[in-house]
Structure 1
Amino acid sequence: MRQRRDAVTEAQHYIQQQPTVGVDETGFQQRNGDGQNATKTSGWLWVAVRPLIQSFQVILSRAIAVINHL
């Protein structure tokens, strides 16, 4: 599991260092299975894309600040 986290962190860091990144989001029904969404807010599946790396995350916000987090 640690290796997977390291790979995800490395991919996110790589994407954040790129001068241009394709970013998109789409609605994603997010329930409360992990206990982090008690109000059952709609989620968003965010993707950041570069030719060699893609990063996907489900985030409970569609705010512009999310882009800086990707």
Structure 2
Amino acid sequence: MHKKITFQLNLYSFRLYLCLKFSKATIRKIFLWVKNYFYWKILNFSIVFNCEIFIIIHFWWSIRFFSSLFF
């Protein structure tokens, strides 16, 4: 439990550090790049998987990234 709290605090301070070090536009570019990277990775797997699963995974990644940005 203690490790989890410190990890979340470290994550929060790291995010704060990123916000101070880079402008918002730069952060947005980084997160868009990461999102696109995973999007294409999932797109390659979508050939194997069902289309519905691909959509669910894509939305799940989007929610994860946007929630990590704002919360």
Range into which the TM-score falls when normalised by the shorter chain: 0.3 to 0.5
TM-score w.r.t. the length of structure 1 is 0.40
TM-score w.r.t. the length of structure 2 is 0.39
Larger Rg: 2
Higher relative contact order (CA 8 A, sep 6+): 1
Whose strand proportion is higher, 1 or 2?
1
